[in-house]
Amino acid sequence: MNAPLAAPFVNRPRQHVAVIGAGPGGLAAAMILAARGLKVTVFEKDPVVGGRTRTMTTPEGYRFDLGPTFFLYPRILGEIFAACGARLEDEIEMIKLDPQYRLIFEGEGGSKAVLDAVPDHVQMEDAIRAMAPQDVQGFRRFMADNKVKLEAFRPILENPILSPTDLFTLPMLKGLLRMRPHLTVDQDLRRYFSDQRIRLAFSFQTKYLGMSPFRCPSLFTILSYLEYEHGVFHVKGGLGGVSTAMARMAERLGAEIRLNAPIERIAFAGRRAIGVESGGQHISADAVVMNADFAHAMPQLVPDNLRRKWSDDKIDKAAYSCSTFMLYLGIEGECPEIAHHNVLLSKEYVENIHQIEAGVIPSVPSLYLHNPSATDPTMAPPGHTALYLLVPVPNLRFGADWQKELAPFRELALQRIESLGVPNLRERIRYERVVTPQDWMDNYAVGYGATFNLSHKIRQMLHWRPGNRFQDTEGLYLVGGGTHPGSGLPVIYEGARITTRLVMDDLGVPAQPAQYAVAAQ
């Protein structure tokens, strides 16, 4: 077992920070704050850490990630571990995927075209050439332009934006010019690719935000750029291993993580947060960091009269991401035809999006199928396969009755999996679990079942998004997909760095990172 890490200074600050939720943002915040010598207590309502970034293990020996499966851009989390005196590579085993994922485009008459997205740029050009020769030259231009875009936009991604005045600096204004707010992701990609299939190959990543490439702001072309520039990784044993490693690191630094400890409310003295109520007890704190789902938790934890900017009415009228229908299947036998990551793009892809935005459950849905057993034999018993299916569907704002919809949509989902090359699927199922939008809300405390949180439309980004320091109060801070800079694991980790800087500034903690030496193993 690792010994606690020693603080580098004698007069260790005794301020106490309460963190609500042990999701990726809460765990990153706990690591950073504990590394600065603060007293940190994390309150997690579930019996495990990770929130939606957890890995489930069944009695039969199958392992499934509950939510995220793509591990992208580990640089940010690696820097957080380094600031805490550890190496990310020593805490988890990462496998760089090649191919990164497989894209299957459905055509007329049941035909399919396949594009394996590979990290080697020359090979990727060859793959594009085989499908759309006229678009080959666009790939290098896309990569070069998005490298510049990411660098220009980093001041916006890495700093708090609590009011419009925060945007009026030269680095921020340069970043905003690169954002091209009048363009969507698809419109921006038309400057590089004429074939819609190639544009979809570089824009389906907007689904990481639960958005359509035809509505998502053009900034987010950087998502596919990051994949081709830095790679797509699998974490051996499941992506939940990242969360457990973060929790382990936070505890080594002195943080306390309380499981099965839901928060009933945040305690206030006037407008200042002074602690939390859990299990009927008041726990005093000098600052509170909320990592719970914004739409679900804010109305429950903070009185409406303290939330002028984000009142109950405003939260109810906000725009939210789509939801997802999930199937976790333990299959007898292997599935050699199925790649690690698979994205099936229906020939009705555009219609799918319009249906979801209108609250209609798609009749021929596009989907994502995860087969980690293709890379990692620990994800299923020998001779078996663990399959994870995600289908974008409307969130609960549209009132779908999932008790009624479940059986027919499950059957449709199984048919779609079989079409990818999994024969005799039903008789091979040895384990099955379903998560519907209603389950996301009822069992996982996701507001409106919107799996990817608040929408990332322009009017819900920057200073229009809930701030890392919750502006209507004092001493309350936010981290997670519902706050600036937004959703997606790398962005959430960056958000945790923004939030903790604000906490430390307000508490008077020295800005320089504390230097720790990891104790001998």
Residue 259: DSSP 8-state: S
**Residue that is last in its domain, among 424, 448, 472:** 448
Element (H, E) at 513: none
Going from the C-alpha of 324 to that of each of 255, 391, 484, the distances in angstroms are 34, 5, 23
Report yes or no on 110 lying in a domain: no
- Taking only the tens of pLDDT, the chain with its 521 residues reads 343 343 444 455 479 999 999 999 999 999 999 999 999 999 999 999 999 999 999 999 999 999 999 999 999 999 999 999 999 999 999 999 999 999 999 998 788 999 999 999 999 999 999 999 999 999 999 999 999 999 988 888 899 988 888 888 877 777 777 767 789 999 999 999 999 999 999 999 998 888 899 999 998 999 999 999 999 999 999 999 999 999 999 999 999 999 999 999 999 999 999 999 999 999 999 999 999 999 999 999 999 999 999 999 999 999 999 999 999 999 999 999 999 999 999 999 999 999 999 999 999 999 999 999 999 999 999 999 999 999 999 999 999 999 999 999 999 999 999 999 999 999 999 999 999 999 999 999 999 999 999 999 889 988 899 999 998 899 999 999 999 999 999 999 999 999 999 999 999 998 655 444 333 22
Amino acid at 13: P
Report yes or no on 399 lying in a domain: yes
Judgement on whether residues 383 and 406 belong to the same structural domain of the protein: yes
Judgement on whether residues 67 and 167 belong to the same structural domain of the protein: no
Residue 332's CB is within 10 A of a number of other CB atoms, namely: 15
Judgement on whether residues 219 and 241 belong to the same structural domain of the protein: no
Report yes or no on 106 lying in a domain: no
pLDDT at position 181, please?
72
Check the CA dihedral 283-289-291-294 and report its sign.
Answer: positive
Check the CA dihedral 441-207-430-411 and report its sign.
Answer: positive
CATH value at residue 242: 3.50.50.60
Judgement on whether residues 435 and 330 belong to the same structural domain of the protein: yes
**Residue that is last in its domain, among 181, 208, 230:** 230
Count how many domains the chain has: 3
Judgement on whether residues 303 and 331 belong to the same structural domain of the protein: no
Report yes or no on 290 lying in a domain: yes
Query: Which are the contacts of 448, defined by CB distance < 8 A and separation ≥ 6?
Result: 295, 320, 323, 395, 396, 397, 441
* Dihedral, CA of residue 231, residue 54, residue 209 and residue 87, to nearest 10: -40
Judgement on whether residues 157 and 191 belong to the same structural domain of the protein: yes
Domain residues for the domain of 501 are: 16-93+237-317+464-507
Element (H, E) at 186: helix 185-189
Radius of gyration of the chain (CA): 23
Closest CA to 289 of 24, 14, 30, 13: 30
Report yes or no on 102 lying in a domain: no
| CA atoms of 337 and 425, how far apart (whole Å) | 13
Judgement on whether residues 333 and 430 belong to the same structural domain of the protein: yes
In contact, 236 and 376? CB cutoff 8 Å: yes
Report yes or no on 274 lying in a domain: yes
Judgement on whether residues 391 and 345 belong to the same structural domain of the protein: yes
Amino acid at 114: V
pLDDT at position 517, please?
34
Judgement on whether residues 279 and 222 belong to the same structural domain of the protein: no
Judgement on whether residues 68 and 142 belong to the same structural domain of the protein: no
Judgement on whether residues 296 and 203 belong to the same structural domain of the protein: no
In contact, 499 and 29? CB cutoff 8 Å: yes
Report yes or no on 400 lying in a domain: yes
Report yes or no on 10 lying in a domain: no
**Residue that is last in its domain, among 208, 230, 252:** 230
Judgement on whether residues 129 and 222 belong to the same structural domain of the protein: yes
